[in-house]
Amino acid sequence: MDVVVPTAAECRTRSRAADASRRLAACGVDLLFPLQCLVCRRRLLRAWPAHFEQTGRRAAAQPPWVFERFGSRALGFTIQFCEECFDRLLDRRRACPRCGRPVGPYIVADDDCPSCRKRSQAYRRVSRLGVYDGVLRQVCIRAKSPNGGPAAASLALALFLHQRQRLESPGYDAVVAVPTHWIKTLTGHHNAAYTIATVLARCLDLPLLEKALIKHRRTPDQSELPGKLRRRNLIGAFRVSDAQAVRNKRLLLVDDILTTGATATETSRTLRRAGARAVDVAVIAIVEGTR
């Protein structure tokens, strides 16, 4: 059988044609189902990074490959925030690198802050998009609703773009989502942590360890319990079902909201006991004033 090897020029033409058809298909989808900002409902001309290209602003914050890899709504990974609403999600105050909580301008917080300095923490550090308040709180609540996939994916992409260097520099080996009990998945509850972890794993080009960490005991809802009981409520609730997958690995543990840190602490401890070398946490929002 003859094998026809295309020339370099033919390859370039083909790749340009494939590129053009992909963009044409994306435009068609946008015409039929126009994208709207999830917060203010303003129509977005195209998927977010391309929208920013059109406005000619924030060029450094938008790696072009994000549109190429995540712009297709067929994949469900599109940022659906306009530029103004994206800015309102962020918390621009200085954050403690260890616990992720905002710190005042005159406080020394190079490695930790006064509120976490004396506390032992099973995870090394926290990366987050903003504080659980205002617009970010609204979108986080939406991300947990039964149709919360686009909101959760948009938040995950926003987190990646905002904290890209912090998420890439430690050189993680894999991403793990904070799991929910399987009964909860039967009740139409959207697992926001899992969607966020999926998007972050793709952005960081890392494997997502889907079944390595499981929640094997049902627990009362954390939001209904005071701080001390939250920690007790979760003791022994998680289990590593695939120790080989986590042993000696640097893991990025992903959840949607960090309140007292009880869930992050218990899941990190479980992973460390199973042999994980280090665990860092990435969340969309951090709740201020809770410990």
Choice between 76 and 102, CB closer to Zn ion: 102
Q: Which two tokens stand for residue 121?
A: 């923490």
d(CA 199, CA 153): 6
Establish if 167 lies at the interface with Zn ion (CB under 5 A): no
Binding part of the chain for Zn ion, among 104-112, 132-140, 179-187, 213-221 by CB under 5 A, reads: 104-112
Among positions 18-77, residues that touch Zn ion (CB under 5 A) are 37, 39-40, 42
113 touching Zn ion, by CB under 5 A = yes
What are the b/e assignments for 253-268, b being 16+ CB within 10 Å?
bbbbbbbbbbbbbbbb
Does 135 help bind Zn ion (rule: CB under 5 A)? Answer: no
User: Residue 264: which of 213, 220, 217, 224 has the closest Cα?
Assistant: 213
Per rule CB under 5 A, is residue 139 in the interface with Zn ion?
Answer: no
Q: Does 274 bind Zn ion (CB under 5 A)?
A: no
Residue 234 touches Zn ion, criterion: CB under 5 A: no
Q: Is 282 in the site for Zn ion (CB under 5 A)?
A: no
Facing residues of 174 across strands?
251
Least Cβ distance, residue 44 to Zn ion (angstroms): 8
- d(Cα 256, Cα 183) in Å, to the nearest integer? 19
Helical packing angle, 192-204 and 134-144, nearest 10°: 100
φ, ψ for residue 208 (rounded to 5)?
-100, 120
Count of residues touching Zn ion (by CB under 5 A): 12
The stretch among 111-119, 167-175, 193-201, 209-217 that binds Zn ion (CB under 5 A) is 111-119
- Our finding on whether 116 is near Zn ion (CB under 5 A) is yes
**SS3 track for 171-185:** CCCEEEECCCCHHHH
Quote the least distance from Cβ 99 to Zn ion, whole Å. 3
- Note whether 99 binds Zn ion by CB under 5 A: yes
b (16+ CB within 10 A) / e for 4-23: eeeeeeeeeeeeeeeeeeee
Q: Which listed residue (26, 47, 79, 85) binds Zn ion by CB under 5 A? A: 85
Give whichever of 99 and 152 is closer to Zn ion, judged by the CB atom.
Answer: 99
- Which C-beta is closer to Zn ion: that of 130 or that of 179? 130
Residue linked to tokens 């319990």 = 225
Measured CA to CA, the distance from residue 265 to residue 255 in angstroms comes to: 12
98 binds Zn ion (CB under 5 A): yes
Stretch of 53-61, 70-78, 82-90, 262-270 lying at the interface with Zn ion (CB under 5 A) = 82-90
Q: Does 158 bind Zn ion (CB under 5 A)?
A: no
Nearer to Zn ion, 42 or 57 (CB): 42
Query: Binding to Zn ion by residue 122, rule CB under 5 A?
Result: no
- 44, 50, 66, 82: which one binds Zn ion (CB under 5 A): 82
* Cβ–Cβ < 8 Å for 221, 257: no
Q: Does 253 bind Zn ion (CB under 5 A)?
A: no
DSSP secondary structure letters along 193-250: HHHHHHHHHHHHT--B-SSSEEE-S----GGGS-HHHHHHHHTT-EEES-HHHHTT-E
Q: Which residues bind Zn ion (CB under 5 A)?
A: 37, 39-40, 42, 82, 85, 96, 98-99, 112-113, 116
